[in-house]
Chains A and B, each alone.
Chain A
C-alpha cells in the first residue's frame, strides 16, 4: 500500500494527478444544496465530464483547505435512494462502491440534507450510513429551519446516528469551516472507520414479513426507525414556508398558473431572440471586420484563404450563437435555482403527456427554437431515459434560428406579399408561421411514433418534489453559464472547425495552374453532380445540391455557398441580386420544396455531434439524421409535385 494508506487501485491516466489525494464524495437528495456546498468548497477549480458510457455528468473539483492540504471532491447527482432505478441512482451507487473505472472508492462522504425537511431526508441517511464509510452529515439550511420555528439537537442526532453532524447554511458560507476541518482530517488520514453504530432501536424485520411485502416493508421500517431518531434528536418540524405558500397560491393557481407559465415561456422566447440580437450583430461585425483586417495584411496564398474563409468564418458561425446560448442558460439557471422549473414541468406535464412526452420536456423544446444544441443539453433534467431520448430526438424539428435566414431569403424571393388579415398579416408572414407549425407538427408526430415503437414503455410515473422557492445566487448561475459556454464552444467548435476546413478544401481542389478552380470544376461541384440524381425529383439542380451539402455544417451556410457558386459578392438573405438569381434557378415548386426540406432535414453537424455526446454513441444520431432526411425528401417531393 502507498504511504497514504489507500489501496493502489487502477487510476486512469487523466486522473493520475489525483493519486495520493483523498477523494470525498458529496451525497444528498435533490435540492438539499449539494452543488452550492460543492461550489463553495471548490470555486472554479472544477471539471465537468460524463461518467463512462452514460450521460450523467461527473462534477469534479479540488478543494484547497485552510491548512494547505487538498482533497478531490465528487459532486454526485441528487438522489432519494439507491434503488438504481434511474441513471443518477445507479451512478451514485457505483461511485460509492468504487465501481466506476478510474475512480477509487471514496475515502469519506459528506452527506448533505435540507434540515427543514429532516425527517423525510433521513430516509436517505439510513442507506448511506449503512455503507459504513467515514461520513459527515451536514444539516443545510439551518437558518431557514430556525426562522420558521423548527429546531434540532445536532449533538443528540450525532449520538443517535454515530456520525459527525454540523449545521450549515451553504449559501451564506456558514458551516463551511467545519466541513473543511472534516476534509483536512480526511486528507491527513485522521478520519478512521466510524465506530460501530449504536444499537438499532428496532429489531430487523422478520424474514416472513419481508417476503410478503418487500418494498413497502423495508421503507416503513426505515421510516419508523428514522422517526424515533428524529424524536430523540428533538427535531421540531418548521412551519410551512410562507413565501413558498404565497408564491404557489399564484404560480400553481388553477387558471393563473398556466397563464403565468405561458408568459414566462414567452419572455424566455423573446429574450433569446430580441436580447441576443445586438450581441450577435456585434460578434458578426467583429468576426467579419477582423477577417477583412487580416486579409488586407496577408499575401494572397492558399493559407490566407484557409485561415480567413475556412477557419475564421467557420469559427465565427459558431460563436455567433453564443449570446443566445448564454441568455437561454441564464434563464434556465435562474428558473432552476429559484424552484420554479419543477413547477413549470408540473404545469406543462398534462399537455406534454398527451403528446407522449412529459412536463420536463417543455423547456428543452422551447429552447429548440433558438438552437437545438443547448436544447439537447437542457434535456438532461429529464430523469427517465426513454422520455429524454424522445425529447432530444424531436428537438431538431423545432424551427431554430439558423433556419430563419434561409426562410427569409426564399420567402422574399418567391412569395409575393399580399395582405391576408389587414396590414399586419400577409402571405409572407403566413408562410413563415406555416413553416414553424410544420416543424412543431413533425415533432409531435415523431414523438407519438417513437413512444409507440422504439421507446415504448409505460413511461416513468411523473412524480416530482417541488422544492421551496429560493432566490438564485449570482455565483451558482454564473458558474452554470461558464460551464455551458465552455461545453458548447469546445465540443461544437471542434466539429464546425473540421467541417468548414473540409468544405473549404473541396472548393480549392483540383488546383488549376496553382489557383483554386472555378466552382463548377471543383471537387465540391463533383460531389454536387454525384448527388444531383437524388435531388432532381425535388426540383433542385446540382448547385442547390452543393448548397445542401455545405449547409450540413450549419444551415445558414447554404446562402454563402450559393453566393459563391453564382458568383454573387456579399451574398446575404437581404441581397436583391441573390433573390433574382434564385428566381432563375428554382421554380416556385422547387422553392417550396427547399423550404420544406429545410424544415425537416437535420442539416446541422453541431446537433449531430451533441446528439452523439448525449446518447453515448452513433446509433441515435444516425437514426435521427436518416429519419429526418427521409422525411425531408418525401416532404420536398410532395411540395414540388403539388405546387
Chain B
C-alpha cells in the first residue's frame, strides 16, 4: 500500500520534472499540427481558471481536435465535436496533443 502511494508520488514528481524540462523534451503542441490532421488532446498547460473556458467548450483531454484554418498570424480555428473554435496562437501552443495511431484507432 505504502509502496504504491510512494510510486504514485514518484510518478507525479517525474511528470512535474518533465514538464519543467520542456525545452529538452518538447511535447507535440497543437500549434505545430498541420491543417486537417486529427489529433487527440492530451494535456492543457494553463492554470485552472484559464483552462475552464476551453473545457466548457468541450476542449478537454481525450477529445479529438482538428485544426481547419489558420490565419495569417498563425491563430488556428479548430474543429471539436462538430463545433468550430477560434483561439490565439499562444493558447494553441499550450495544448499538448498526441498523433492518432492509425493501427489502434
Contacts and interface: CB of A to CB of B under 8 A. Distances in A.
Contacts of A342: 86
A48 interface: no
A80 B75 contact: no
Interface stretch (B16-24, B26-34, B65-73, B96-104): B65-73
A117 interface: yes
A223 B58 contact: yes
A594 to B, nearest CB: 41
B77 A466 contact: yes
A117 B86 contact: no
B7 interface: no
A255 B72 contact: yes
Given A461-B50, A464-B85, A346 B75 contact: yes
B52 interface: yes
Interface string B40-63: 000010101111111111101111
Given A81-B56, A216-B51, A254 B88 contact: no
Contacts of A458: 50
Nearest to A458: B50
Contacts of A81: 52, 56
A237 B58 CA distance: 15
Contact of B88 (A80, A461, A465): A461
A462 B63 CA distance: 20
With most chain A CB atoms within 10 A of its CB, the pick from B49, B50, B82, B87 is B82
A347 B73 CA distance: 9
A248 B83 CA distance: 13
Contact of A252 (B50, B62, B71, B79): B71
B102 to A, nearest CB: 21
Interface in A339-361: 342-343, 346-347, 349-350, 353
A346 B69 CA distance: 12
Nearest to B59: A463
Contacts of A462: 86-88, 91
Contact of A237 (B71, B82, B86, B87): B82
Contacts of A220: 60-62
B57 A350 contact: no
Contacts of B61: 216, 220
B82 A223 contact: no
B84 interface: yes
A423 B80 CA distance: 55
A81 B70 CA distance: 27
A461 B91 contact: yes
B82 A463 contact: no
B81 interface: yes
A342 B87 CA distance: 11
A466 B85 contact: yes
B41 to A, nearest CB: 11
A464 B77 CA distance: 9
A240 interface: yes
Nearest to A350: B73
A51 interface: no
A258 B72 CA distance: 9
With most chain B CB atoms within 10 A of its CB, the pick from A220, A343, A350, A461 is A461
Contact of A123 (B48, B58, B77): B58
Given A214-B48, A464-B86, A465-B85, A123 B53 contact: no
Given A215-B55, A216-B61, A254-B70, A353 B88 contact: yes
B62 A463 contact: no
Contacts of A291: none
Contact of A117 (B48, B69, B82): B82
Contacts of B79: 240
B14 to A, nearest CB: 15
Contacts of A507: none
A257 B71 contact: yes
Interface in A118-143: 119-120, 123-124
A535 B6 CA distance: 77
B99 to A, nearest CB: 21
B69 A248 contact: yes
B58 A466 contact: no
Given A349-B88, A461-B91, A462-B87, A252 B57 contact: no
Nearest to B44: A216
Given A123-B56, A220-B62, A463 B86 contact: yes
A216 B61 CA distance: 8
Contact of A85 (B49, B58, B68): B49
A116 B52 contact: no
A182 to B, nearest CB: 27
A116 B72 CA distance: 30
A453 interface: no
A346 B77 contact: yes
B10 to A, nearest CB: 15
Nearest to B54: A463
Nearest to A150: B82
B77 to A, nearest CB: 6
Nearest to A119: B81
With most chain B CB atoms within 10 A of its CB, the pick from A219, A343, A458 is A219
A315 B89 CA distance: 49
18 contacts: A85-B53, A117-B83, A119-B58, A119-B81, A119-B82, A215-B55, A219-B55, A219-B56, A220-B60, A254-B71, A346-B71, A461-B50, A461-B87, A462-B88, A463-B86, A463-B87, A464-B85, A467-B84
Closest 3 CB pairs of A and B: A120-B58, A80-B56, A466-B84
Given A248-B68, A347-B71, A466-B77, 8 more contacts: A219-B55, A220-B61, A223-B60, A223-B62, A248-B69, A461-B53, A464-B86, A468-B84
